[in-house]
Structure 1
Amino acid sequence: MIKKTTIDKVFEATRLEEVIGDFVQLKRSGSNLKGLSPFTDERTPSFMVSPVKQIWKDFSSGKGGNVIAFLMEHEHFSYPEAIKYLAKKYAIEIEETQQTDEEKKIADERESLYLVNKFAAEYFSNQLLKTSQGKAIGLSYFKERGFTTETIQKFQLGYSPDQWEAFTQEALSKSYQLTFLEKTGLTIVKEEKKFDRFKGRVMFPIHSMSGRVLGFGGRILDNTKKAAKYLNSPESDIYHKSKILYGIYFAKQAIAKQDICYLVEGYTDVIQLHQRGVENVVASSGTALTPEQIRLIKRLTNNITVLFDGDAAGMRASLRGIDLILEQDLNVKVCAFPEGEDPDSFAKKNNQEQIQAFLNENAQDFIQYKASLLVEEAQNDPIKRAETIRDMVGSISKIPDAIKQEVYIKTCAKLMDISEEILYSSLAQLMAGKQKSDVTKPKPQPMEVVKLQEAKPRINRQHALERNIISLLLRYGNILSEFQDFAFKLTDEGEVFLEPEIQEAKVYEKVYLDLQEDEIKFTHPDFKVLYDKIMETFQAKGELKVDSFIQDLSPAEAQEVTSILMQQEREQLHRWEDQEIYVKNKSELEPREVNETILNLRLFLIKQKVNELLEKVKDNPELHHEEIIMETMDYKALETVIAKKLGRVL
């Protein structure tokens, strides 16, 4: 187990905005930062980070918490894994207590798969760099590709020996279980036999966005063998090829910083460009581009440039996947290399300045490029020309932004020498067809609508008030302030009146004493637990620091606290000020809000008690009513007093 002193050092050094910035493109929004949700598919930001409070909230999925919660949600880390990741990032030495054999046994399966892949990456790397076979076959291949030793080590490139069980036997001798070797796909088990999947191949580890090895790609070097040129790890609990991009771990910071991502096809394309200084590049690893992969890029930037090989067949194949990028509302450009060149070969022959200059000068808007290419192919063939127009309008229909659609329609009309009206008409037909296909459920009948409305849960006012008290304690509990209360006084004529009194106290003291005076207990179980923990913290330390308080909460409690604290940030996302609607800023304490919240809760409970007494009379007509009536009148009198304090008329 990791020592408490190490955990404390990690939290002291960690900056939430820096950690999340490695995974999500964040932009300043007042004192906070905002970005697109990394957990859902969205086009407008609903993800907020508070550097001051060191918490985050994703309003689209409801998730939130501190830096550990983010890593556990986003990277599926366990708590110790998250601590170790942060310790590595901030160069903090990990101190651990010795794990027992029993603790090692209960390590979850997911972690076991990661550990097996980590061992495999190290094994393949050692085979490449330290064995005669690896140097002669694997290392010489990478050197021929122009990769430096530094690059080879950075990308953890390796070599799998040309022997049936070399890796498997080594892993088993190190106490790695065959079950996990098989589940990662590193070992193939058939009946009584077991052998290495990547036998005789150079190895390309595939990393997650946080740098963990998810799987491998292996390239065979012996062309005489009847085997696939490239072989990838099979799908597993940790490796889903449709959801990962090769090189994303090494490219993420450059993509976010330069606000553009270059998309290529192969591993070597990524590595060669990266080695030349163009680091904001990723590959789809030879698979068809998927929406999940595009959303991975969108977390970092809205700008993608797809790099094509110089051959026409390759261009047409790549064009087919770009409609998916348009659907995600990203800005897409394409750049074709000279005939006979691909990103790898071109980067090998040029330095960073030359490569960047070529990309800047030759990158074209996708729609314009596609239109020019297809028009050239169609030439004077009327049928091909008609197909080309339909193809172009189909691509434009994928774009969610109506303004962009109009701009592209005008551009295509000029390029194809066709009227805008025809293109608009075709677009309208396509859009209508899309909307029709999207409707999968029949509209509910009137009776169904009534049932849906009846099923809608009502807001529990007491729970809402309890939540508001938690909010006040979290936001202002430490603050010393003056509170106006009222005391009963008598006039010379003997009439009762309320006289204002000023009391000085910290907010948490004011709340605690007022609730104690009326013996008010929280009814919502989650809020009761939070209230008790908050008060325990204040009484023990005299203050509450959100970033350290949230560390000791369960994930569910931390999520609720984050939701409460980030409510103001949620209102910022709606940009009410653009509509001249100004939301009150809650960064400063208003003592009146504390008084009113407590009084509203008192008033609610009094009304609830009055209703209970009336129901008691109604259900039991034989009861002696005088005592109940007197008790009811006392409560109604108290209700009137509280209403006066609130400035209301009953």
Structure 2
Amino acid sequence: MIAKETIDKVFDAARVEEVIGDFVQLKRSGSNFKGLSPFTDERTPSFMVSPVKQIWKDFSSGKGGNVVAFIMEHEHFTYPEAIKYLAKKYGIEVEETEQSNEQKEKAGERESMYLVSEFARTYFKDNLFKTEPGKAIGLSYFKERGFKVETIEAFQLGYCLDQWDAFTKTALDKGYQLEFLEKTGLTIVKGEDRMFDRFKGRVMFPIHSMSGRVLGFGGRILKTDKKAAKYLNSPESEIYHKSKVLYGLYQAKQSIAKEDNCYLVEGYTDVIQFYQSGITNVVASSGTALTPEQIRLVNRLTKNITVLFDGDAAGLRASMRGIDLILEQGMNVKVVTFPEGEDPDSFAASNSPDELQYFLDTNAKDFIQFKASVLVNEAQNDPVKKAETIRDIVHSIGKIPDRIQREVYIQECSRIMDISEEVLFNSLAQLGKKELAEASKKFKKEQKAFEVVRPEQKVEKIDTQQFLERKIIELLLLYGMEEGEFQDLVLKEDDKGELVLEPEVHGAKVFEKIYLDLQQDEVELSNPLFRDVYVHLIEEMHANETFTIESFLNKTAPEIASELSSILMDDEKYNLHNWDKNNIFVKEKKAGMTQLVSETILSLRCHLIDKRVDQLQNEVLKTENGSHEILEEIMNYHQLKKLLSNKLNRVL
């Protein structure tokens, strides 16, 4: 259990734009920030962060909330874990009690796998620094590679003892369940009694999520064994999907956003050696072929990727597919190749940080220059092969979604390959037609496989009452504590004995005006969520003179906070920014606050009158001769509706 004082400290210290900025590249948009959604695959930013209200909203997925809700949603943390993560980020001490065996058993499957992985990371690290075999074998190997102790600590490297079941036995003794040791792949189970450690005798590289959670491991064998793989990775599991993870991203994310560039390498030691040389904006695909999911992880932080290849010619050809994938995601890609026989790890180890940075800066080529240099060397003086090379480059240009960028690259290709732009544009157009035809053919084939019955498209009707109730919550959140001059309508008889509405002006806070008007009409909100929020808002505003949206959201449940964030950020979504620079002065929404409040309440009254009249009319139809009292009540309601409509300037 975390103390309330600690939670309050976390909320006071945590800034939503700082925390989300670790996961998403945010750009200023008026008083807010915008970025690409971390929850969906989108090209146009629809993810908004409000530093003033300390909330966020993802319009592509509908998710939203406060800073804790983001960490819970993005990292699949529980509420206490999200608080602990933020406390660690902001240097706030949290008193933790060790989990009992009973608590470990109650944890969900996914959480249990995380707990096991965290334990394994600590165990392997302790082996490396605190056991004789770990120091003699594991630590010696890392030091031979040139890794300093602080680098080893930064990447939480470790060592698995060269014993069949040392890790498994220790984990079981500590109360961790064999089921989750097996599901994470840390333990291999053969039959009822046989179980052994997957990473026996290997140095360990923990693979982290973007927030630092351990998802899996990579292990390198140190002794010569032709039957054993040099590198071994954790198997796919509920928490570890290789295609969606980049090694080193946890350590590199802030540097990538700051430098606005990401270096992409192949292996663990490439990342670590670069990091130690001061190039900290580097990640690895961990030996797997690059995937769109991995590219999108980088795309949240920067639009620029520099791919680093070693001098192996066969590897270069195979790696070109990754370049096309990067281009498809609308990103800018450059390529650096190292001298033959060198890779990023060896080159960084044998050169000073300044020399490494200079090499990267001076050898970075755009993808056309890179492809041309590799493919032209293969083609030499063969015209047919040269034509194939040009087609290959045009095919890559065709992957770029932005038309202007495509045209610029066509011009560049024309200059480098000495061929007319017209021919290249025609080739690009033919390629587009071919891909369109293939897509159409595939679609028709799928249509024949099963007939899709298209349902009639129905236009969704707007629920007026839900809309108005939502508006009342919005007004309370935005202006609840604001003072205003309100014009109340008091029903009186004039000299002729007819009912008229006479205006009376008085000052009040917005929440008081709304509360008293709804109370007078005995109106209760129909939506359960809005009703609950309304009651809590009124109570908080009555009791607390220093009420703030931020403090209110921090006390509400995540699902309610998400809905309230939607209401608040919908208001922000259509704000106009910087119009005054062009001498266009737009009236602020707050300037019409009192009118908006009064009109919303009047509209709700009119709507409820309509509903009541409908009910009364149905009652009249059910009686044989009608009812004089009911008809009279209907007439009175019509008269009241007419008066309210006049006030709203509506024609009945």
TM-score range, shorter chain: over 0.9
Higher mean alpha-carbon deviation, 17-26 vs 377-386, is at 377-386
CA shift for structure 1 position 327: 0.7
Correspondence 1:519 to 2:522 = yes
Pair 579,405 (structure 1): closer, same or farther in 2 beyond 3 Å: farther
For 1:200 and 1:303, how far apart are their aligned partners in 2?
39
For 1:317 and 1:387, how far apart are their aligned partners in 2?
16
Correspondence 1:33 to 2:33 = yes
Pair 124,49 (structure 1): closer, same or farther in 2 beyond 3 Å: same
Q: Which of these residues, 452, 459, 462, is aligned with residue 456 of structure 2?
A: 452
Pair 630,227 (structure 1): closer, same or farther in 2 beyond 3 Å: same
User: What's the secondary structure of 2:336's corresponding residue?
Assistant: strand
For 1:217 and 1:423, how far apart are their aligned partners in 2?
45
Q: 1:461-484 deviations in whole A, cap 9, x for unaligned?
A: 111011101100011111111112
User: What's the secondary structure of 1:566's corresponding residue?
Assistant: helix
1:174-323 equivalence runs, <5 A: 174-191=174-191, 192-323=193-324
Q: Which residue of 2 aligns with 1:549?
A: 552
For 1:376 and 1:98, how far apart are their aligned partners in 2?
62
Higher mean alpha-carbon deviation, 387-396 vs 467-476, is at 387-396
CA shift for structure 1 position 35: 0.8
Q: Which residue of 1 aligns with 2:608?
A: 605
Q: 1:53-85 deviations in whole A, cap 9, x for unaligned?
A: 111101110000011110111011011110111
Q: Which amino acid aligns with 2:253?
A: K
Q: Which amino acid aligns with 2:457?
A: Q
For 2:231 and 2:136, how far apart are their aligned partners in 1?
20
For 1:574 and 1:235, how far apart are their aligned partners in 2?
47
Higher mean alpha-carbon deviation, 61-70 vs 128-137, is at 128-137
For 1:46 and 1:573, how far apart are their aligned partners in 2?
16
Q: Which amino acid aligns with 1:187?
A: T
Q: 1:569-604 deviations in whole A, cap 9, x for unaligned?
A: 322599999999998643556100000000011111
For 2:580 and 2:23, how far apart are their aligned partners in 1?
29
CA shift for structure 1 position 426: 2.5
Pair 579,374 (structure 1): closer, same or farther in 2 beyond 3 Å: farther
User: What's the secondary structure of 2:211's corresponding residue?
Assistant: coil
Q: Which of these residues, 555, 559, 564, is aligned with residue 561 of structure 1?
A: 564
TM-score (normalised: structure 1): 0.93
For 2:607 and 2:37, how far apart are their aligned partners in 1?
38
Higher mean alpha-carbon deviation, 101-110 vs 315-324, is at 101-110
Q: 1:152-180 deviations in whole A, cap 9, x for unaligned?
A: 12211111122211221222222222111
For 1:544 and 1:441, how far apart are their aligned partners in 2?
56
CA shift for structure 1 position 44: 1.4
Q: Which of these residues, 447, 462, 467, is aligned with residue 464 of structure 1?
A: 467
1:45–1:573 contact (8 Å) kept in structure 2? no
Q: 1:485-507 deviations in whole A, cap 9, x for unaligned?
A: 23346666666654432111111
For 1:252 and 1:93, how far apart are their aligned partners in 2?
24
Q: Which amino acid aligns with 1:361?
A: T
Q: Which residue of 2 aligns with 1:383?
A: 384
Correspondence 1:2 to 2:5 = no
For 1:475 and 1:292, how far apart are their aligned partners in 2?
38
2:158–2:203 contact (8 Å) kept in structure 1? yes
Q: Which amino acid aligns with 1:289?
A: L
CA shift for structure 1 position 122: 1.8
1:534–1:544 contact (8 Å) kept in structure 2? no
Pair 620,177 (structure 1): closer, same or farther in 2 beyond 3 Å: closer
For 1:623 and 1:553, how far apart are their aligned partners in 2?
53
1:57–1:563 contact (8 Å) kept in structure 2? yes
Q: Which residue of 1 aligns with 2:45?
A: 45
Identity %: 64
CA shift for structure 1 position 253: 0.7
2:484–2:510 contact (8 Å) kept in structure 1? yes
User: What's the secondary structure of 1:306's corresponding residue?
Assistant: strand
1:423-572 equivalence runs, <5 A: 423-438=424-439, 451-454=455-458, 456-488=459-491, 497-542=500-545, 544-572=547-575
1:477–1:543 contact (8 Å) kept in structure 2? no
Q: Which residue of 1 aligns with 2:343?
A: 342
Correspondence 1:80 to 2:113 = no
User: What's the secondary structure of 1:285's corresponding residue?
Assistant: coil
2:208–2:215 contact (8 Å) kept in structure 1? yes
User: What's the secondary structure of 2:486's corresponding residue?
Assistant: strand
Q: Which residue of 2 aligns with 1:419?
A: 420
2:167–2:197 contact (8 Å) kept in structure 1? yes
For 2:60 and 2:203, how far apart are their aligned partners in 1?
42
2:292–2:325 contact (8 Å) kept in structure 1? yes
User: What's the secondary structure of 1:485's corresponding residue?
Assistant: strand
Q: 1:130-151 deviations in whole A, cap 9, x for unaligned?
A: 3232222222221111111111
Q: Which amino acid aligns with 2:651?
A: V
CA shift for structure 1 position 434: 3.2
Structure 2: tracts of 5 or more residues without a match: none
Higher mean alpha-carbon deviation, 390-399 vs 61-70, is at 390-399
Q: 1:608-642 deviations in whole A, cap 9, x for unaligned?
A: 2233333444x336133433332221111101110
Q: Which amino acid aligns with 1:55?
A: I
Correspondence 1:66 to 2:75 = no
Q: 1:289-327 deviations in whole A, cap 9, x for unaligned?
A: 011110100111111100111232222222221111111
For 1:622 and 1:26, how far apart are their aligned partners in 2?
68
For 1:502 and 1:125, how far apart are their aligned partners in 2?
72
For 1:424 and 1:356, how far apart are their aligned partners in 2?
37
Q: Which residue of 1 aligns with 2:55?
A: 55
For 2:98 and 2:244, how far apart are their aligned partners in 1?
36
Computed over aligned residues only, the root mean square deviation of the Cα atoms, in angstroms, reads: 2.6
Pair 639,77 (structure 1): closer, same or farther in 2 beyond 3 Å: same
User: What's the secondary structure of 1:377's corresponding residue?
Assistant: helix
Higher mean alpha-carbon deviation, 148-157 vs 301-310, is at 148-157
For 1:362 and 1:375, how far apart are their aligned partners in 2?
18
Q: Which amino acid aligns with 1:62?
A: G
Q: Which residue of 2 aligns with 1:163?
A: 163
Q: Which residue of 2 aligns with 1:332?
A: 333
Q: Which residue of 2 aligns with 1:639?
A: 641
1:160–1:198 contact (8 Å) kept in structure 2? yes
TM-score (normalised: structure 2): 0.93
Pair 596,74 (structure 1): closer, same or farther in 2 beyond 3 Å: same
User: What's the secondary structure of 1:215's corresponding residue?
Assistant: strand
Higher mean alpha-carbon deviation, 433-442 vs 59-68, is at 433-442
Q: 1:504-527 deviations in whole A, cap 9, x for unaligned?
A: 111111001111111222122222
User: What's the secondary structure of 2:215's corresponding residue?
Assistant: strand
Q: Which residue of 1 aligns with 2:352?
A: 351
2:30–2:578 contact (8 Å) kept in structure 1? no
For 1:183 and 1:49, how far apart are their aligned partners in 2?
37
Pair 375,585 (structure 1): closer, same or farther in 2 beyond 3 Å: farther
For 1:215 and 1:140, how far apart are their aligned partners in 2?
24
Correspondence 1:648 to 2:650 = yes
Q: Which residue of 1 aligns with 2:95?
A: 95
Pair 202,102 (structure 1): closer, same or farther in 2 beyond 3 Å: closer
1:372–1:415 contact (8 Å) kept in structure 2? no
Aligned residues: 645
